[in-house]
Structure 1
Amino acid sequence: MPDSALSGKTVLVTGGAKNLGGAISRDLAAAGARIAVHYHSPSDKGLADETVAACVAAGGDAFAVEAELTSVTEIRRVLDSVTGRYGALYATVNTAGLARGNPMTEVTEDEYDAHFAINSKAAFFVMAETAKRIDDGGAILNLVSSLLAAYTGRYSVYAGSKAPVEHFTRALSKELAGRRVSVNNLAPGPMDTSFFWNAAAPGEEEFSRAQTPYGELTKVEHIVPWVRFLLTDGWWLNGQTVFLNGGFATR
């Protein structure tokens, strides 16, 4: 059933073709939102097209846009295509990210630069360029990581490149307060998707499960309702990072 708070409103979901981003795109479309499904490379085009079709079938309107978000020019092109198509932008949900797990002594310069390019630089400019175009009363929501509250090795570059987003979020939430735009982060725990599997070391999945009282990894369906909530009734939360991990880590 469409949510009157989202019906007809435009949402950009970066990384919106698959995994958590794909589920968020579908859920918001089912609530009546118009979805811009961003995807990173031609290899994901098929998944993006499937997500767009699912959004339309759910009752929303949607289109896909490919872009390399480490380029500010490309970020601007994406946002201009959204406002050009729909005439407005209510919210951006930024799920795009990169995760690899290596000891610091094995991290290459290229690996370091790649993480900070997408997890920090792209997040900063997606937020900044969204802020220039977003409707008053809208929302900006970033997906970060519960590793920001964890005491662990192997993810120094991943967690380190996500940490600046908390500072970006606090600053932008202050700057946009007069326009009633909320800016927040959701920090899932290790998630039962390929994003985690591709980064995890042997035995890490079992270890991560054991760190929560429930003995489970975070699932996509644990996160999606919070996204919809923070874009609607949860607007009063602002400048915050919410750790959604079943008790994996707290702060």
Structure 2
Amino acid sequence: MTSSTVSRVAIVTGGSRGIGRAVAERLAADGLAVTIVYRSNEQEADAVVEKIEAGGGQAIAVQADVADEEAIARAFDATEEAFGGVDVVVNSAGVMILSSIADFDLDVLDRMHRTNIRGTFVVDQQAARRVRNGGAIINFSTSVTKLGSPTYAGYAATKGAVDAISPVLAKELRGRDITVNAVAPGPTATELFLDGKDEETIDRLAKLNPMERLGTPEDIAEVVSFLAGPGRWINGQTVYVNGGMVH
């Protein structure tokens, strides 16, 4: 398949594992060519590309730190070279480190802010310049911004910034038919989330919502798919994807 036959093209940051991987695989299943941007998991990123290609889709993997504007510009360049343009950008790369405010390591706070705030801003900046008319930009927030759970202040603060960025960018792209939204998952059963948690903790988190289960990466990817495709009248919003978790 040549780039001329590709109808729509997506870039997914953090696409080598977890929710990002589910998003990349879902968008590929929807018929989009996909660029997976990864920071360090080259082997896992390549495995996602192989899986997408084995299913008849098109994908490439590009290494980049989302907070590095030159690296992200190169990722957009590589996507345009491979597939002819960019229509959808999904910012799912993120860092979550938990601690009370009193005990938080401020160097860790700076690192988390670099990825979650600067990284979102850098990727959105390239997206604003390069996404084709009729496209979609989807950032990642969190339901914890409303829940206010102890130890989540640093992380929730970074995602509160994402909630602020998305509607502003939506308005700045007036006239180009490009939607900008944020998706805010609740507790989701990724390897990263489950690691280090006992059964009691997992069960308690699962029961925060009336569906009484954890979300799956596929649950989140389904909403991203909608916002990336048919959901054209949702714009400038943070969409809570958490099974009705009480706030």
Normalised by the length of structure 2, the TM-score is 0.93
Q: Which of these residues, 226, 229, 245, is aligned with residue 229 of structure 1?
A: 226
The equivalent of 2:13 in structure 1 is 14
**Map of 2:151 onto structure 1:** 154
Deviation at 1:201, TM superposition (A): 8.4
Q: Which residue matches 2:136?
A: 139
Give the Å deviation of 1:156.
0.6
Answer yes or no: is 1:82 the counterpart of 2:79.
yes
**Structure 1 position 32, deviation (Å):** 1.5
Q: 2:160 aligns with which of 160, 163, 170?
A: 163
The CA deviation at 1:136 is 0.3
Shift in Å, 1:139: 0.3
- In structure 2, do the counterparts of structure 1 residues 166 and 223 end up closer, same or farther at CA, with 3 Å as the change threshold? same
Instruction: Give 3-state SS (helix, strand or coil) of 1:234's partner.
Output: coil
- What SS is found at the alignment partner of 1:138? strand
Paired residue type of 1:39: Y
1:5-47 per-position Cα deviation (integer Å, ceiling 9, x unaligned): xx63110000111111111111111221110011111xx1111
Could you tell which deviates more after superposition, 53-62 or 190-199? 190-199
Unmatched 5+ residue regions in structure 2?
1-5
3-state SS of paired residue (2:175): helix
Give the match's secondary structure for 2:62: strand
TM (norm. structure 1) is 0.91
SS at 1:226 equivalent: helix
Alpha-carbon distance, 1:209 to partner: 1.6
Displacement of 1:117: 0.4
Q: 2:45 is matched with which residue: 37, 43, 48?
A: 48
How many residues are treated as equivalent by the alignment? 242
Contact persistence 1:187–1:241 (CA under 8 A): yes
Tell whether the 8 Å contact from 1:101 to 1:201 is kept in structure 2 after alignment.
no
Question: In the alignment, which of 197, 204, 209 is matched to residue 207 of structure 1?
Answer: 204
Alpha-carbon deviations, 1:27-71, whole Å to 9, x = none?
111221110011111xx1111111001111222111100111121
1:76-112 Cα deviation digits (max 9, x unpaired): 1111211122221001011000011111112111110
Other-structure match for 1:23: 22
Which aligned pairs between 1:96-107 and structure 2 lie closer than 5 A?
Answer: 96-107=93-104
Identity fraction in percent: 33
Give SS of 2:156's match: helix
Contact 2:166–2:236 (8 Å) recurs in 1: yes
1:173 aligns with 2:170: yes
The structure-2 alpha-carbon separation of the partners of 1:199 and 1:92, relative to structure 1 and needing over 3 Å to count, comes to farther
SS in 1 for 2:7: coil
1:3 maps to which residue?
none
Task: Give the C-alpha shift of residue 223 in structure 1.
Answer: 1.3
Q: Which ranges of structure 1 fall in alignment gaps of 5 or more residues?
A: 1-6
C-alpha contact 1:146 1:249 (8 A) present in aligned 2: no
Query: CA offset at residue 189 of structure 1?
Result: 0.2
Q: Give me the whole-angstrom Cα distance separating, in 1, the residues matched to 2:239 and 2:197.
A: 23
Residue identity matched to 1:150: L
Determine if contact 1:116/1:161 at 8 Å carries over to the other structure.
Answer: yes
Name the SS for the 2:232 alignment partner: helix
Q: Is the 8 A contact 1:29 1:56 kept in 2?
A: no
Q: Give the distance between the partners of 1:237 and 1:201, measured in 2 at CA.
A: 38
**Cα distance, 1:248 vs. partner?**
1.6
1:163 and 1:203 mapped to 2: Cα distance? 29
